[in-house]
Amino acid sequence: MPRESLRLVGAHEIRKLIGVSRQRVYQLARRPDFPKPVAKLTQGKIWNLNDVEEWISVERTGREPDPR
């Protein structure tokens, strides 16, 4: 079975994905429904891209998240 690689993103990449400022990404990150960061580095928080993409999909379509 192929192993899925972990894809990580920071606030800069998330802002490009959803078209908002980096400051707005950090505001969104404080929401309880936003994915939890996988790590906090000196440069800032990082998230699993798959989790962020799922959150974006739910936010844009209003559908329920995929149960895992």
Cα 29 to the chain's mean position, in Å? Answer: 8
Structure tokens at 50: 């798959």
8-61: CATH architecture: Orthogonal Bundle (1.10)
Mean pLDDT value across residues 17-36: 95
Taking 80 as the threshold, does the pLDDT of residue 11 lie above it? yes
32-47 residue pLDDT tens: 999 999 999 999 999 9
Tokens of 53: 């993409």
List all residues 6 or more positions away from 14 whose beta carbon is below 8 Å from its beta carbon.
25, 47, 52
**Sorting pLDDT into bands at 50, 70 and 90, what band is 53?**
very high
pLDDT for position 42: 95
Q: What is the mean pLDDT of residues 20-35?
A: 95
pLDDT for the residue 4 = 72
